[in-house]
Chain A
Amino acid sequence: MRLRGRVSLKFLVTRLLWGIPVLFAVVTVAFFVMRYTPGGPFDREKPLPPAVEANLRRQYRLDRPLLPVYTAADEADRQKELDTFAAAHTVVPLGGLNVVVDPSGIAETQYFAYLGQLATGDFGVSMKFTQISVNDILWRTFPVSTLLGLTAFLLAFGMGITLGVVAAARRGTWIDGVTMVGATFGFSMPNFVLGIVLILVFALGLKWLPPALWEGPSYLILPALTLAVGPAAYIARLTRSGMLDIMDQDFIRTARGKGLSERAVLIKHALANALGPIITVAGPLMAMLVTGSFIVEHIFAIPGMGRYFITAVIDRDYPLVMGVTVVYAALVVVANIAVDILYAVADPRVKLED
């Protein structure tokens, strides 16, 4: 289990630094995709008075061009805003394009202003929950999502590895058969279908557990289970096949020959060697849990980041969508590094340098 000398500081720093371009790419893609998405944050069934909307747009910097290079917008309203911007800065027309040339003008375009703001760790103010900063929302929802995600993560690994080891140990028996068919069932069950079944059975039918909301430990059980079953099924299958590969090898026969108990053979020898591939899926698994948490938080009305993300996309709440996206992308980057380190923990031959 000793990591000294195998995980170099240089490796960690390099990997973390690699996260920066990845995050940058994610921010850029998400930013422009959201802006080019039809509809806007201030669309209402009953349109806002033009003066109010103009003020809101100015407050949220939406009246500026996205980039220092832009073409004349097709809407008349937007044209007026762009003219106002052009009047305050040095904008040079260049073959149908308008190019902002003064540094302060460039810094004030939406994209660069957002990057500058992001560099200071400020995600801006929500457009839907006006007056509330995205940082506040994230601080409030992050712990909720993390608690749910970690519980599901541990549950998935706990259940998955246990079931996989049991199935492998009883290879070919009905226990193996039932476990593997069960795993296929679990793996085929969409999060929302499982959530619905659990709510129908345990909340509405038996009334053992609350159907939704987030008001105490008992509220964690159903959502965490919903989130964990799919990954657990996946891990169970992976563990079983990994174990079966290993159990045919000579050193297992040696271990048995030494007179070790079957339990010691399974856990200390077989499982320890089968862990590698199981750990490598922890990365994609994180992404699975993140995706799942959007749905699960939505179904169980849990005040986490995922639920806010869905409503934010519908509302075109640009700052909130960006904030959640950045946090999730950062999480995935960090999780992938953590997986590499775990890999080194499980396999003493692995060296993480470079």
Chain B
Amino acid sequence: MATTVDETPVPLATIPVTFWGRTWHRLKKNKLALAGLAVIGLIGLVALLAPWIAPYAEETQDTNALLQGPSWAHLMGTDRLGRDMLSRVIFGTRVSVTIATVTSLIAMVFGTVLGAVSGYVGGRLDNILMRMVDVLYSFPDLLLIIIISVVIGQGVVGITLSLSLVSWITVARIVRGEVLSIKERPFVEAARSLGFGGPRIVFREILPHVVAPIVVTLTFRIPSVILAESTLSFIGLGLQPPASSWGVLASDGWTAITFFPHLIIFPSLAIFVTILAFNIVGDGLRDAMSIRDQS
């Protein structure tokens, strides 16, 4: 019963051995990235809890308080219908963040699968895909998004789909590049000689090695989708009111910029801070995972 176990503390390695442990260990030292991560968490919470934390209901109009500047009752002021801007920005967070996240995930899945298959199979398939990517790349993407969104529709779903259709290209390019180099490595050859089929090699053997660049790409995809969506909505070609993302709010405020700048400042600030936070975290992750810049 009394088997003695040596309980003297083994000097544990201070640096974690797993990839994710190591990444977190390095990221922790990057104060800026941690701050960015905190901001992202906060934005996520705001998006999730919008109806509970917004001081007013989204569409409540107070006709006694039209176009007021920031005050204690309305921290970001009110718009021309007397709606509380803080509440509108909070609900806008929901719309903007949802569109960005869903779009990035769709782009991620399609980009990864197409990029991986194209890179692994090579040959004609790869050629066709890469020529497509060339054409799409030399096309100003806003132009493409405008055209597609006009066709599919300018609701949340339409905008999400049209942004996804453009976003997968970047992911596909990066994943393809990674797969091209990994597929020459000995362990892939070993898998092939064990008789594994193409799909198993691509998805079970190769892709796990591409996770790091994919995560970094995802982190940079989200801000660029927020950028594209808000820009489109700002010029009136994206989401249409009453759906209100930050871009729609900014667009609303644009007409009154001379006399009521608060209407445009706060939504713009929300857009800027969000993009900034994601870019900072993306940079941090890239450094922590020691991936070369390939944007």
Do they bind each other? yes
Interface residues of A (CB under 8 A from B): 22, 25-26, 30, 33-34, 36-38, 181, 184-185, 187-193, 196-197, 199-200, 204, 237-238, 241, 283-284, 287, 290-291, 294-295, 298, 309-310, 313-314, 325, 328-329, 332-333, 336
Chain B positions within 8 Å of A336 at CB level: 138
Q: Are B142 and A294 in contact (CB under 8 A)?
A: yes
Partner of B237, one of A238, A313, A329, A333: A313
Chain B residues with a Cβ closer than 8 Å to the other chain, count: 39
Assess whether B73 is interfacial by the CB under 8 Å rule. Answer: no
Q: Are B140 and A287 in contact (CB under 8 A)?
A: yes
A-B CB contact pairs (8 Å), 21 listed: A26-B139, A33-B148, A33-B151, A38-B150, A188-B223, A190-B268, A192-B235, A192-B268, A193-B250, A193-B268, A199-B257, A204-B261, A284-B137, A291-B141, A294-B142, A295-B142, A310-B237, A313-B237, A325-B143, A328-B143, A336-B138
Instruction: Give the top 7 A-B pairs by smallest Cβ distance, nearest first.
Output: A188-B276, A188-B275, A291-B142, A193-B268, A291-B140, A290-B140, A332-B138
Chain A positions within 8 Å of B137 at CB level: 284, 287
Q: Are A314 and B272 in contact (CB under 8 A)?
A: no
Interface residues of B (CB under 8 A from A): 32, 134-135, 137-143, 146-148, 150-151, 223, 227, 230-231, 234-237, 250, 254, 257-258, 261, 264-265, 268, 271-272, 275-276, 279-280, 283, 293
Q: Which residue of B lies closest to A189 (CB)?
A: B272
Given contact pairs A37-B150, A184-B280, A204-B258, A192 touches B140 in the complex (Cβ within 8 A): no
Q: Are A25 and B275 in contact (CB under 8 A)?
A: no
Inter-chain CA distance A66–B130, complex, in Å, is 30
CB distance from B160 to the nearest CB of A (A): 18
Q: What does DSSP make chain A's interface, helix, strand, loop or mixed?
A: helix
Inter-chain CA distance A287–B139, complex, in Å, is 7
Given contact pairs A294-B142, A298-B235, A313-B146, A36 touches B151 in the complex (Cβ within 8 A): yes
Inter-chain CA distance A30–B135, complex, in Å, is 13
CB distance from B225 to the nearest CB of A (A): 12
Chain A positions within 8 Å of B264 at CB level: 196
Q: Which residue of B lies closest to A277 (CB)?
A: B293
CB distance from A277 to the nearest CB of B (A): 9
CB distance from B76 to the nearest CB of A (A): 16
Q: What does DSSP make chain B's interface, helix, strand, loop or mixed?
A: helix
Q: Are B147 and A34 in contact (CB under 8 A)?
A: yes
Taking A193-B272, A314-B236 as known contacts, 11 extra A-B pairs with beta carbons closer than 8 A to each other, sorted by chain A number, are A22-B134, A187-B279, A188-B223, A190-B231, A190-B271, A192-B230, A192-B268, A287-B137, A295-B235, A298-B235, A309-B143
Q: Are A22 and B148 in contact (CB under 8 A)?
A: no
Q: Are B147 and A30 in contact (CB under 8 A)?
A: yes
Given contact pairs A25-B135, A241-B293, A298-B235, A33 touches B230 in the complex (Cβ within 8 A): no
Inter-chain CA distance A133–B235, complex, in Å, is 25
Q: Are A184 and B283 in contact (CB under 8 A)?
A: yes
Q: Are B139 and A200 in contact (CB under 8 A)?
A: no
Partner of A328, one of B140, B254, B283: B140
Given contact pairs A22-B135, A294-B235, A332 touches B140 in the complex (Cβ within 8 A): yes
Partner of B231, one of A33, A192, A238: A192
Q: Are B283 and A196 in contact (CB under 8 A)?
A: no
Q: Which residue of B lies closest to A191 (CB)?
A: B231
Q: Are A200 and B261 in contact (CB under 8 A)?
A: yes
CB distance from B114 to the nearest CB of A (A): 19
Inter-chain CA distance A22–B131, complex, in Å, is 10
Partner of A188, one of B236, B237, B272: B272
Given contact pairs A287-B140, A290-B140, A291-B140, A26 touches B257 in the complex (Cβ within 8 A): no
